[in-house]
Structure formats: C-alpha cells, structure tokens
Chain A
Amino acid sequence: MQREDSQRMWNKILAIFIILILLSSSVSASIIDTIWGLITKPLKGVLKSWEHVLKNPKHLITHWGKHFAHEELEEKGEKSRTFAYVFLLGLFTRTVTKDISENINRYILINPDPLHEGVKSTVYSFIHLLIPFYVLALVSLGAYILFLSTSPKGRSRAKSMVSKLIIGMILVTISPHLLNFFFTLSENVTKNILTQGEEEVTDAVGTYTGVMWGSFWMTVGAIYGVNAMGKIVTEIVTRASGMAYDRYAYEWVFRYGRVRSVRLLKIISESLPKLKVEAEPGRTIPMLMLSITLFIGVYGILAFRYLMVMFFTLLFPFTIFFLCFDPTKKLGGTLLEQLLLWTFVQEFYAIILVAIGTGMIMLPEDLLGYGFGIWPLTISFFDLAACFTLMLGPIILFMLLRKLLPPL
C-alpha cells in the first residue's frame, strides 16, 4: 500500500518535471515576447507597411510558410543528421552486402551438429524423459492385449506394435548419429548444387547486393537531391581517375578511405558544404523498409531455418517414439515431415539461388533496364523480383512440398 502511494507520488513529481521541461521554452523568456517574436520574426523583410501587407496577403502567407519550412530544416542540424543517417545506412549496406557475398554458402550449408557436446547431452536428457512414456505405452499395450483385444486381428496388431516400440527404442538411442548422417547427406547435396552453379550463385548474390546498393543510393538521392548527388559523385569520380559512377562508389570511398583517411576527410569536408538537404530522412522510410526487408528476408529465413532444424533435432527422440506408437503415429509423422522439410530448405535455397542466377543470365540485356527511379538511381524490376524470389522461394517450396511423407 505504502509502496503504491510512494509510486504514485513519484509519478506526479515526474509528470511535473516533464511538463516543466516541455514548457521551458516559454520559461526562458516571457510568453508575450516569445509570441511577438514568432509573429514578427518572419515578417522582418516583408513588414514595410501595414498597407503593403493588407494589399498582398498572399505574399505574406507564402513568406511566412517559406520561413517556417526553412526553420524546420535549417535550425535542427539537418546536415549533420542526414549525413549521420546516410553514413550509418551506407555502413549497414556495405557490411551486409560484403557478408552475404562472402558467407552465403556457409550460411546455407550450416546445420546443427547433433554430435556437439551440448546438443548431444540435451538429446540424451530427452531420451531419459522418454522412459516413463515408453513404460506407459508398453503397459497400456499389455493391458490391451490381455483385456480388450477380443479378435485375433487386434491381438496381432497389438503384438506388431510391441515390436515397433522395441525397434523405436533402439533407434532412439542412436538418434543423434542418425540425424548426423541425414544432415551430412543434405549438406552434400546442397554443396553439389552450389558448386555446379557457382557462377549463377555469384550472379544472384550480385543482384541482391545491387538492389541493396540501389536502395541506398536512392536514399541519398532523395535526401540531397539528384543535383547535389551529381556534385559529390563528380568530385569522387574525378579523384578516382576514371572510376565510373555506380554502386561501387561507396565501396571505393570506403576502401580508399581506409588507406588514406586524410584524403577522404578532405573529400568529405569539401563536399559537405555543397550538400543541400532537400528532404528529411523520414521521407526515405520506403527505401529503408526495402533495405530492411531484404536484410530480414535473407538473414531472417536462414537463421529461422537453422533454429527450426535445431528445434526438431532436439525433439527427434520424441518423433521416433510417436512414430512407433500407433495412437500417436500421425503426430510423429508431422514431426518427422517438419524436420525433413526444414532441413531441405537448404536445398531449396541453393536451387532458388541457381535458378535466379540462370534467369538473370538468360534475360535479354535491354529488358534489364526497366525499373523505377530516375537514372542512375534506378532499381530494375527484374532485380527486385529476383530478390523477392530469393526471400519467398524457399517458403513457397516449403509450402508446396508439405505433404512430403505418404499418409500414415
């Protein structure tokens, strides 16, 4: 009770502080002064005479509007803020694209190691957990044979269930090794697909990174305007001696910058004053969403797949038990199917990558140009579609092949 009271009082004090802080703009000067300043400040240039204002009310309004729009952008350090935004987004894009082009094969090929110390001990603890279930299943089967099964058919079925349960027991004890065998098989198949279509995979990854960079440059274009962009690019390109403008410009700045950071700082300091911020970063949220969707679409699915495979790996002893016991056969079937499918997402991913790469190679050159945005800040529709295929393809294949096992 007392605690609640003190909590409430604390909340009140806090609320008063917050209100005080928010009102402190008017605390610093008298309120009338502030309001008067707000009205007269933008009118300094216009307020020649009241007649003039009354004659041209439109002029007054536009001037005032201009003033506030200007205030909005000018007073809040938009240059440093937008630069920080673009820099961080560039950093993010660069690390993601670099990571994906270096490690995509590794990410696709990774499977949980069922023979790893921790995983193995967990699986064995689950096997211990299964013992009472086995006892219960055997006792219920025995009771069924003794008291309930009147027909010879029922009895023989019950007996076959006993043998199945015993086979299941043996399989459960070697379940980590079974899984290891299965994962190795799947990994090898995937590796084969990836090595067969190495060129295509590189091409598909290139498409993905291209769209990421396209999104980044569109952000830059939207914030600084295409003209200002042109200035910076010219600056960079003239210094890079013959380096053509494309998505590698940022890459180049980064690499070059690491070697000669003084030079880079000079470029930045020279081009920063030339930057004219034309939009708040809030306007680039669609592009940001695109970047983040692409990021989540690839990394999220790969990580989620890994975790799901790990989940069903840990459940594998239960899967075998459920499969071998007739009343829970359906449940076991679903569990096994899910394990197989989530493991096969690996293959699906490899196939989709190769398919995208082949598709991009086969597409006529002149079709590739179609896209949205203003040249050179465009993202090709085909590239975008390829990226979304990369994200959705494995899921679609997963859904299509859901009834993988024959009905149990």
Chain B
Amino acid sequence: MRMDSRIKILIVIGLILVAMSISTAVRIPKIFGESHETGFNRMGIIIWIAKRLLYIWLSASYGTEGLNELKANLSEIVMMNPSITTLSNLMVIVIKLVFALYIPAIAFLGFYILFLSSSPEGRAEAKSMLTKLIVGLIFVSVSPQLMNLLLTVSEGLTSSILAPTAKGVFTKAWDTSIGATPLDLRLELSGLKGLHFIATFIEIELGFYTFLFFMILVWGAFIFPILIRFFAVSVFIVLFPLSILLYSFEFTKALGRTMLEQTIIWTFLQVINALIVLTVVQSIISLGEDFMKVGLGPTTMPVIPLVGCLMFAVAPLFIIRFFRGFLP
C-alpha cells in the first residue's frame, strides 16, 4: 500500500515536471484562450494545472486514506469497544464515590421512615426503597462484570451478524460512490472523486464543495460516528455504577433510567452498525446495481450506495432519537 502511494506521488510530480519542460520547449495550442496584449502565458497555465492537480491529489488522499483503512478493517472498526480492564481503575474510583453516596441515601431513607411517612403504606414503600437500594449496592459492586457482560453480548451479536455478510459488496458500494480518477492509476473518472476532479478544474471553489462531500462521506459518515460511539461508551462505562445508584434510588430514578438507557443504546449501536452493513448489502443484492443510478458519464450518481454509506451517520441518530423510554 505504501509503495502504491509513493508511485502515485512520483507519477504526479513527474507529470508536472514533464509538462513544465514541454511548456518551455514546445508551443502549446491556444486552447486556453489568449491574453490580449502579451501573448500566451504558458508558464501560468502550467502552474494553474499543476496547482489543481496537487490540490486534487492532496485532498483526495484524505478520503482515500480513510477509505483504505476502513476497507481493510471494516469488522475490526465496527467491533471496536473500549477495554474494561483499562477503564477499571477509573471505575473503581467511581465505585468508591458511589459507595460514599450510599451513606447519605440510606440515612435519608431512614429519616424519611422515621419522620415523614406517617401512613403504613408510605412506610412499606420506604422499606421497599431500602431493599432496592441494597440490591443496587450489590449491582454496583459487580458493575465492571455487568458492563463486561453487556459488551460481550453486544460484540457476540455484532460478530454473528457480520460474519455471514458479504462485506465485499459493501466495500464495493464504497468504491462506486467514492470512485476513481486517473491520479489513482486507473483510466476512469467516476464517483465523487471524479466529480471533484472535474469541479476543481472548472473552479477550485466548486472543487472545495465536492471535496467536503466526500470528506463527509468517509470521515463524517463512518469514522466519526464510530469514534463518537467509542468515547460515549467509555464515558458510560465509567459512569455505570453511578447510573445504577441513581436508578435504584427512588428519588433519582428518572435520571438513572435515562443514563442506563443511554448506556444500553450506545453499547448496542455496534449491533445497529453491523445491521446497517447487512441492510446495504441486501438492498444492493436484491435491487441490482443499476437501480436508481442517475446521470450520464462523470455525473453518474449511484444513489443507493451513496445513501447506504450515509446511513451509518443518519440511522444511529434515528435510533437514539426514537428508542427511548424502554426501561420500566
């Protein structure tokens, strides 16, 4: 892979140098129009082209790097989880904090039973609250193991979904939506890269917008959501003992429920990601590759692969938005 990119760089530089040497020796036909007074500014044109080629190559390589990384390690990236053993030090600190918080919580309950609950019903309720707190205490002390169990279930589900999936179809969807240019040592001009190539030559500003688009497609749609999930899960793992405490204490139950729900949702987003891969693969297989392919030549837009790639970013948002309130 390294070798390939070096060859590319050399070829680009060689092309530019050759073009420059030709420009000083041979007269280039006046395809670029002519200057009104001083004649044709050949050097300017060459610099003009060289700048654009460099810009295309530099910007496109951001997308390509991420894409190659993703294609090589799709399963690993989707299966990526923070390790509990590394986070356990932090968790121990939080557990100690939570244990400290249990003392005021139990004291508060005691006062509640003693002074406030006058009816037998209220007292019984307060006592059940105490039981819940104590059960919570047990869960807090085994919270690293619990979290580990949750992560193991999620990983197991993800791997069993990803294993039979034809990942080749998915990486091909990526390839078709990102496309290729002659700078990739391929004789074609297709996908977003091809669009970027043409747009840059029309005007750098337009090139910038298309560049943004495929930057978003690769980095924004895949790597970012997955990394955000990774960090969010790390945070929720560390806060897991606190969520259990809040959930088991009657007065802070709502907050604890939200936190626990978020922990579960963010952990299982992995499964959703694997399912999205599967969905895109099945859609492409059952629809055929030419369905909803709009445009001619370099303006062709393979809509299903493109939207399929963007699903990675959008579908988790839907899941987080709609799948709330499932805990009792």
The interface residues of chain A lying within 8 Å CB-to-CB of B315 are 308, 311
Select one of A85, A112, A299 contacting B292, CB under 8 A.
A299
A–B Cβ pairs within 8 angstroms, 10 of them: A25-B47, A75-B44, A84-B201, A88-B299, A91-B297, A95-B294, A99-B294, A119-B282, A129-B160, A300-B310
A contact residues around B164 at 8 Å (CB): 122, 125
Whether B44 contacts A314 by the Cβ 8 Å rule is: no
Minimum-distance CB pairs A-B, first 8: A77-B32, A282-B205, A303-B307, A331-B326, A92-B299, A330-B326, A311-B279, A85-B202
CA distance A113 to B285 in the complex (A): 11
Which candidate, A15-23, A262-270, A378-386, is the interface stretch facing chain B?
A15-23
Q: How far is the CA of A26 from the CA of B299 in the complex (A)?
A: 37
CB closest chain-A residue, reference B157: A129
Interface set of A (CB-CB < 8 Å, partner B): 10, 14, 17-18, 21-22, 24-25, 28, 41, 44, 70-71, 74-82, 84-85, 88, 91-92, 95-96, 99, 107, 110, 112-113, 116, 118-119, 122, 125, 129, 280-282, 285, 288, 295, 299-300, 302-304, 306-308, 310-311, 314-315, 327-328, 330-331, 334, 338, 402
- Is B27 part of the binding interface, using a Cβ–Cβ cutoff of 8 Å? no
Please encode chain B, from 182 to 205, with 1 for each CB lying within 8 Å of some chain A CB and 0 for all others. Answer: 000000000000000010011101
Q: Mark B11-51, 1 if CB is under 8 A from A, else 0.
A: 00100100010001000000111011110010111011011
B206: interface (CB < 8 Å): yes
CB distance from B112 to the nearest CB of A (A): 26
Residue B7 at the chain A interface, CB threshold 8 Å: no
Cα–Cα, bound, A72→B209 (Å): 21
- B31 contacts A80, CB within 8 Å? yes
Complex CA–CA separation, A75 to B49 (angstroms): 12
Query: What's the Cα separation between A182 and B255 when bound, in Å?
Result: 39
Q: Are B295 and A95 in contact (CB under 8 A)?
A: yes
Q: Is the CB of A314 within 8 A of B48?
A: no
Q: Which residues of A contact B245 (CB under 8 A)?
A: none
Q: Which of B6, B48, B295, B325 interacts with A96 by CB under 8 Å?
A: B295
State how many angstroms separate the Cβ of A190 from the closest Cβ of chain B.
Answer: 18
Interface residues of B (CB under 8 A from A): 6, 9, 13, 16, 20, 24, 31-33, 35-38, 41, 43-45, 47-48, 50-51, 54, 157, 160-161, 164, 198, 201-203, 205-206, 209, 275-276, 278-280, 282-283, 285-287, 292, 294-299, 301, 303-304, 306-308, 310-311, 314-315, 318, 322-323, 325-326, 328
Contact across chains for A315 and B282 when beta carbons are under 8 A apart: no
Q: Indicate which residue in A75, A282, A306, A338 contacts B33 across the interface (CB closer than 8 Å).
A: A75
Closest B residue, CB atoms, query A312: B279
Across-interface contacts of B308 in A (CB, < 8 A): 303, 307
Asked, given contacts A95-B299, A125-B164, whether A84 binds B33 with beta carbons under 8 Å apart, the answer is no
Q: Could you say which of A41, A91, A118 has the most chain B C-beta atoms within 10 Å of its C-beta?
A: A118
**In the complex, are the beta carbons of B326 and A304 less than 8 A apart?**
no
Report which of B32, B206, B318, B326 forms a contact with A281, defined as CB distance below 8 A.
B206
Contacts of B314 in A (CB 8 A): 304
User: Is the CB–CB distance between B307 and A304 below 8 Å?
Assistant: yes
Contact present for A307 and B279 (CB under 8 Å):
yes
Q: How far is the CA of A334 from the CA of B327 in the complex (A)?
A: 12
Which among B36, B209, B298, B322 is the interface contact of A285 at CB below 8 angstroms?
B209
A330 to B327, CA, bound (A): 8
Residues of A within 8 A of B297 (CB): 91
CA distance A306 to B308 in the complex (A): 10
**Residue numbers in B under 8 Å from A280 (CB-CB):** 203, 205
Query: Given the complex of chains A and B, what is the CA–CA distance between A78 and B203 in angstroms?
Result: 9
How many angstroms between the C-alpha atoms of A76 and B36 in the bound complex? 13
Contact indicator B295/A91 (Cβ below 8 Å):
yes
- Chain B residues contacting A96 (CB-CB under 8 Å) are 294-295
Q: Which residues of A contact B38 (CB under 8 A)?
A: 41
Q: Are B307's CB and A14's CB within 8 A?
A: no
8 Å CB contact of B206 from A70, A282, A315: A282
**B202/A81 in contact, CB under 8 A:** yes
Contact present for A76 and B48 (CB under 8 Å)? yes
Which single member of A81, A88, A295, A314 contacts B203 (CB below 8 Å)? A81
A81-B203, A95-B296, A314-B275 known; 9 new pairs, CB 8 Å cut-off, are A24-B43, A24-B50, A75-B44, A76-B32, A85-B206, A306-B304, A331-B326, A334-B322, A334-B326
